[in-house]
Amino acid sequence: MSQPSNSPVVFITGCSSGFGLLTAARLASRGYRVVATMRDTRKQGSLTSEINRRGGIADIVPMDVTDKASVTRAVDHVNGRYGYIDVLVNNAGYGIGGFFEDLTDEEIRAQFEVNFFGVQNVTRAVIPLMRQRRRGKIINISSVAGFSASPAFSAYNASKWALEAFSESLRYELKFFGIDVLLVEPGTYKTRIFYENARYARYFDHPNSPYYAISRHLKKKVAAYVEDCHKDPEEIGIIVEKLIRAKNPPFRNIPDVEGQILYWLRRALPFRVYSAMIRAFFLKGLKT
């Protein structure tokens, strides 16, 4: 079985779990020619069983977004096989929790290496293929954390904020060549990012940290919030597919109502009021 030879070629990063896996499986089942990349292809089991369950096929290719040689190999593979890429979905990412003073420089840089420089590595490798044909879409999976910050996530917030500025700038630059740059800004969805893939600052759980009590409070608060979150992560795949199909898609795309409300509150409220609301949400119940 093969996909129609005129169906768009979609190149997705971070497909071993979560949004990447579901988006790859969804698009494969709908006839797109999907190149599902992941840094460790030994983890492809969940994706292949999801694809088998839904029907369709995908090309599973190893790629670590922080390793330029592996990015070049993956893009060369696609170029050799299909000759072009219609859509790039920069999805790979993780979030590190922890107060700034509890984070090491290395931890903050590592966060940027994946969420920001990783996106740049892949985008830099893919643009020439799109520019040549004067067409293409680059869809960057940002987050509500890209426009609304919170305590204990400064490294993650900053990486997504940087991704948003990069995407906005790149959108102007690539318009000349018929390439569209788009953002997807999801709110909270229960994926591995909060479980197996969750990372914390080296000093997060250290009793000597001045933030020890508040870190423990926030960890419980976020865990309870995520546990209570029943939105379907498939919504990201649905919105990505909509963006691929749309003639003139909007730049910012927030799939969930929670994220949309946050976006409008952020725009409508004076920052003093908005930040008091965020502070109350995160710190309510903290015993000092």
Ligand X SMILES: NC(=O)c1ccc[n+]([C@@H]2O[C@H](COP(=O)([O-])OP(=O)(O)OC[C@H]3O[C@@H](n4cnc5c(N)ncnc54)[C@H](OP(=O)(O)O)[C@@H]3O)[C@@H](O)[C@H]2O)c1
Of the pair 40, 228, the CB lying nearest ligand X is at 40
> Which residues between 123 and 162 bind ligand X (CB under 6 A)?
141, 143
Active site (annotated) includes residue 156: yes
Q: Which of 32, 84, 156, 274 is catalytic?
A: 156
CB 78 within 8 A of CB 85: yes
Residue nearest to ligand X (CB): 18
* Cβ contacts of 273 within 8 Å, gap of 6 or more: none
> Is residue 66 near ligand X by the rule CB under 6 A?
yes
C-alpha 283/C-alpha 280 separation (Å) is 5
Name the segment binding ligand X (CB under 6 A); options: 9-17, 45-53, 121-129, 273-281: 9-17
CB 153 within 8 A of CB 97: yes
Classified as helix, coil or strand, 118 is helix
> Which residues between 174 and 213 bind ligand X (CB under 6 A)?
186, 188-189, 191-193, 197
C-alpha 265/C-alpha 94 separation (Å) is 26
> Which residues between 80 and 99 bind ligand X (CB under 6 A)?
91-95
C-alpha 148/C-alpha 160 separation (Å) is 10
DSSP 8: P
Of the pair 16, 209, the CB lying nearest ligand X is at 16
Point out which residues bind ligand X (CB under 6 A).
13-14, 16-20, 38-40, 43, 64-66, 91-95, 114, 118, 141, 143, 186, 188-189, 191-193, 197
The catalytic residue positions are 156
